[in-house]
Structure 1
């Protein structure tokens, strides 16, 4: 599974189904949801062996009834025998007699009734996400193992004595520590209680201190820690304690230093001092705060205790700055920082993040405790106005919170989530706490309904605009091609490119209205451009619904004639998935276009089960590949896949357009592979005008 251009995942399927048509319908379910696909149809155990034995990684196995003599038990036995991580989903007839439990015991991850597309999509998305996590875990395990080996080598060569302690027991000591105590290098202290190496009178104090550090998640600390050497003598040392991870577990790293080494002691004191908050405001600097957050994440992941990251936003700061100036607003910020840190008592680190935002790390991990603490903080900060330079200023504060859990792994994501929760608190009136909540994923039908409503509103209020992107010939064609598309602006002012929502809506009659609007508006721009004397042509994508509308082509012929545009200047695109969806009408639709004099184009090509067979019987002039084909061309397998597709299409007499060219490095192999046209932001991103200088194109 790879990330394709434009942010879409490319999912690779093995499909076991006696009907290629049914297999194509499975793929369309995923393509309509934004995935690019690759697929191979399996008809025998030999086919399965060939597919799995190759260098290609497959993401999902979709199965209906296997063709005889292949059976489900054979398939799962073979996959288990080869130890391949390939989730299998079985689709069964609703009235079939298959026992779902027995199929699950064989190895199926899910058994889904045929025709339940939303169910299939939901299960597949979970399986793909789990697969991605497993693959990431395996990669990280290998990297961690190598990192641990390198760290042991570095620690063994380190001059300072180092001990790793978890739950009071030693996990690792380096050779310098063994030497410090007069122990032989081959002696192992792993698993022994660290307190047993400390002089008797200090054992309890040190043990309690270490437990306190583990529980509090303090980022750095120092304690006197006299040790006992092998000969029974006391070794006057202290430990500089910092959190780390070892063998995937939250661990305390103790750097052991002699007390009489004044230079080192001064350095350690300075280090400890750096970890303290600012004496005037009580704020940590960002680096210190991030260190505290990293420790809290390690503790949460290791099950050592939860914490909560909060974003505190001063809503009234901007207005105060505009009304009273920078000096007053800066003094207010400092006063509020003191109030916040004073109320939190130094237990919960706070840092300024700029823009009237503070981040606070609450040492609480339960919603009830977090809410109590946040409510008391809101009362303390906003309960009364603040006087700054004789100005009485009111303060409004919104707090967004995200609780750290054992699934947390990224500090940046937590920061974003806490900020999103703060925005929600503002929307709900401010002066309150909101917890971050993941967006609820709508069902497919619900999404389509919402999108249709947005498009209707945009049409009603004329919130569409056209965009044009050049399609550049690598063979010196005199024609200047532009692909026309459109952008919709929603009620919140956000812009959405047509490609983002077309797969969901091009099956409904509403899209036919958009196709007609697009043709009329683009024809005006095309006519104006052609009057300049250039042979400018446009590629226009139409929805599958227009191919089924008997009135569309007659209307289009009249519209082009009225605009004064020859049909030869227009190339009509249909996506590959529509070829399967409307297989009965597409051949006639393309023939009619050719009779009119238009060119025909199949776009988003190469994601079906048998792409070349799908267009073999169609009169197609241009084939535009799916953008996923230009993803990571530095990978030899991806480059080979693209080359084979271009060569096969060229041999069939079709001109090939390769989209998604974002760098010069991507353009070079595409040219070498024999593509006829290229398109992408490297040459020019979509523009509101047809203004590309084809004469300067190299």
Structure 2
């Protein structure tokens, strides 16, 4: 059942060790795994800033390091570390001063709930900034690739700003018989249009500035040598060197303009209804999403499903249903009268993109549509049929860069109208409530327990020191009714909230014992690492139950290694101490995972009877930096001095192996070696050859 959450790297500027520990507990209790460092001097801050941190919380004052000095140091080094300043009382002047100096927020010391809310907000903002920086790098790479594609394109392409050329590719230069792009730079595009078409071109370009999306114009082009040719120009909005402009693609006319136009039209149409098809409609949605984000133009999507489609198809057959759909398409055209872009989105689904209307503004018109369809008599081969619609509506705004998200929301709203002939608007609060609700996941968990339908995966833990045992960590997976994996964090949190974690732990233990017995009977010397939840830590019946289970399976007790997380062990230290002592008496092995996140991790270790220590995954990140390597080596040396066997997870590349070997690590685990699989089939002898 192990789950690795993203560990928050936290700096605390607080002279009191007890208060610092209390702040760390706040984050733990709110479900945040944290790795913490308490700042004790200016030099300590300088050293700490060599590494990556997610948040700094500063007490109102410190004898060792002034909070203002800490903010200044962070700004001087251009580090993106959100800074939260705590102040004495509700001193508005102190709060204003902290904000003016560059703190992300300042709040009275002791307002714990508010502190967690502010910290979560700043961490979310930090994630957004990091994602934006990654996106900016990806954008630059994409722009480079686009530039290469432009240069090699067989289509003549130019970019125009205020009617002037700012870029032209080789095919464009060849089309107009120019040798070099410099000859065109700054030249008005109208100079390449025959005088007879210049007036219409100028009018088109003037009107296009306020037009939407793609447009075309047929005109006569003029080459540098004076020759003319018939051309068809396609215009679309674009950016070049981060400036808005117009992309123009020119194709010489082949004489089959009418045929080409017809083919273009057919490729975007649904052949039954004459409306746009799904592919073209999704392109329209992408363009609308771009306008919503870049220009603030609102729009809404109506996902219109025909009720009773299966029974109507059975009644009328394929030919009959096509007639009904055509009739319905005509009704939709008449109802929207050009105010919407309409498509047949699926067999029984139409879609309408309403530009300039929010979901709420479209509600009245869509209610009228429901009444029209309900009262309409469809004539299909002499038979009269009636049907209704289920309509889901979702809006596009500056927060919806992905058109597919809007489609999914409207689709879900339509699906929720079980009785049909109704309209449902997407409400963001509903989505949040659904995410918070564990009801459906709890039902899946209950079903998985009853039907033994959980899935166990095994990930090898490899010895770097010649241990002859084969080790695997057991990972639990839950499949939805559709056969998709439910994110472990979701179902494990749901299990904990519903009081099912103990039952699930025992299911994992029993099935691990069963599979391990079969595997060891084939001559393997295998141990399994099995995670115990905080609920099992507090379960006093676990030890006697486990003793019986191991005897029944005739397994040596040391074949199972029970793994506790450092966070759970600290929260329930007394129970963890008792449990690890009891497991030692049963001769079972114990591992402590996510180690090294607390202010004083070795204090926890003093109270526990532990054989293996798995360091937190954050230690494996950025091992290319000397500071991170030294930090990990120091931690491992202290553990080895206490005769603990160490495990380093998240080994994703060969480059870190040499560092880990030199640091004396006992075991490693990660996708570089092998990801989790359904069978215990790793070749442990491969590394010895």
What's the TM-score, normalizing by structure 1? 0.74
CA 1:563–1:349 in structure 2 vs 1: closer, same or farther (change >3 Å)? same
Aligned equivalents of 2:168, 2:483: Cα separation in 1: 60
Structure 1 residues 314 and 170 mapped into 2: Cα distance closer, same or farther (>3 Å)? farther
Aligned residues: 672
SS in 2 for 1:432: strand
In 2, the alpha carbon distance for the partners of 1:352 and 1:571 equals 57
Residue 321 of structure 1, CA deviation: 3.8
- SS of the counterpart of 1:89? strand
**Does 2:30 correspond to 1:42?**
no
Deviates more, 1:179-188 or 1:243-252: 179-188
Within the alignment, does 1:434 sit opposite 2:428 as a pair? no
The aligned counterpart of 2:238 is: 244
Superposed counterparts of 1:464-503, under 5 Å:
468-470=456-458, 472=460, 474-475=462-463, 500=490, 502=492
1:451-481 per-position Cα deviation (integer Å, ceiling 9, x unaligned)? 6998699779975856644464645867677
Task: Compute the displacement of 1:620 (Å).
Answer: 0.8
1:361 and 2:348 correspond: no
Tell me, yes or no, if the aligned pair for 2:90 and 2:107 is still in contact at 8 Å.
Answer: no
Greater mean deviation of Cα atoms: 307-316 or 173-182: 173-182
Q: Give 5+ residue unaligned stretches, structure 1.
A: none
Partner in structure 2 of residue 253 of structure 1: 247
Q: 1:388 to 1:21 in 2, by over 3 A?
A: farther
Task: Provide the rounded CA distance (Å) in 2 between the counterparts of 1:599 and 1:458.
Answer: 28
1:148–1:685 Cα change, 3 Å: closer
**Aligned partner of residue 13 in structure 1, secondary structure:** strand
Measure, in 1, the Cα distance between the counterparts of 2:78 and 2:608: 42
Partner in structure 2 of residue 654 of structure 1? 644
Q: Is the 8 A contact 2:270 2:344 kept in 1?
A: no
* 1:77 aligned onto 2:72: yes
Tell me which residue corresponds to 2:132. 137
Residues 636-671 of structure 1, C-alpha deviations (whole Å, 9 max, x = no match): 89996998599555565333456678x998998999
Whole-Å Cα distance in 2 between the matches of residues 484 and 436 of structure 1? 40
Shift of 1:489: 9.6
Q: Distance in 2 between matches of 1:641 and 1:378?
A: 68
Residue matched to 2:308: 316
Alignment of 1:582-661 (within 5 A): 582-583=572-573, 586-609=576-599, 611=601, 614-615=604-605, 618-626=608-616, 644=633, 648=637, 649=639, 652-657=642-647
Show the counterpart of 2:367. 375
Match of 2:96 among 75, 94, 101: 101
Please give the alpha-carbon distance, in whole angstroms, between the structure 2 residues aligned to 1:630 and 1:59: 16
Which of 91, 94, 106 is the aligned partner of 1:111? Answer: 106
Question: Residues 310 and 360 of structure 1 are in contact (CA less than 8 Å); yes or no, is this contact kept in structure 2?
Answer: yes
Tell whether the 8 Å contact from 2:193 to 2:219 is kept in structure 1 after alignment: no
Quote the Cα distance in structure 2 between the aligned partners of 1:462 and 1:480.
29
Q: CA deviation at 1:81?
A: 2.0
Conservation of the 8 A alpha-carbon contact between 1:352 and 1:358: yes
Match among 502, 509, 523 for residue 515 of structure 1: 502
Give the Å deviation of 1:103: 1.7
Deviations 1:460-508 (A, max 9, x none): 99758566444646458676777667778999999868754656886x9
Distance 1:100 1:37, change over 3 A: same
- Cross-structure match for 1:124: 119
TM-superposed CA distance for 1:419, in Å, is 1.9
What's 2:667 paired with? 676
Alignment of 1:169-188 (within 5 A): 170=164, 172=166, 174=168, 185=182
Asked if the contact 2:13/2:57 (under 8 Å) is kept, the reply is yes
Please state how far the C-alpha of 1:73 moved relative to its aligned partner. Answer: 1.1
Question: Does residue 1:86 correspond to 2:86, yes or no?
Answer: no
User: Whole-Å Cα distance in 1 between the matches of residues 451 and 111 of structure 2?
Assistant: 34
Number of the residue aligned with 1:16: 13
Counterpart residue number, 1:420: 412
Within 5 Å, give how 1:381-460 maps onto structure 2.
381-389=373-381, 392-424=384-416, 426-427=417-418, 429-435=420-426, 437=428, 439=430, 441=432
Q: 1:95 to 1:367 in 2, by over 3 A?
A: closer
Shift of 1:218: 3.9
Contact 2:59 2:85 in 1 (8 A): yes
- Following superposition, the deviation at residue 88 of structure 1 comes to 0.9
SS of match in other structure, 2:295: coil
2-side partners of 1:632 and 1:329: how far apart?
Answer: 61
Q: Distance in 2 between matches of 1:178 and 1:530?
A: 75
Distance 1:524 1:173 in 2: 66
1-side partners of 2:567 and 2:406: how far apart?
38
The CA distance in 2 between the partners of 1:317 and 1:669, in whole Å, is: 63
Whole-angstrom CA distance in 1 between matches of 2:481 and 2:281: 39
Q: CA deviation at 1:374?
A: 2.6
In structure 1, C-alpha distance between the alignment counterparts of 2:107 and 2:312, rounded to whole Å: 59
Contact 2:158-2:168 within 8 A present in 1 as well: yes
State the Cα RMSD in Å.
5.6
Whether the 8 Å contact between 1:59 and 1:128 is mirrored in structure 2 is yes
1:302 has 2:294 as partner: yes
Partner of 2:69: helix, strand, or coil?
helix
Is 1:222 the counterpart of 2:213 in the alignment?
A: no
Distance 1:47 1:92 in 2: 23
Q: 1:396 to 1:119 in 2, by over 3 A?
A: farther
Could you report, residue by residue, the CA deviation over 1:193-232 in whole angstroms, capped at 9, with x for unpaired residues? x899999998886566446545452423225589999x9x
SS in 2 for 1:99: helix
Report matched runs for 1:155-174 at 5 Å.
Answer: 164=159, 170=164, 172=166, 174=168
> Are 1:276 and 1:284, in contact at CA under 8 Å, matched by a contact in 2?
yes
Structure 2 unpaired stretches of 5+: none
Say if 1:179 and 1:185, in contact at 8 Å, map to a contact too.
no
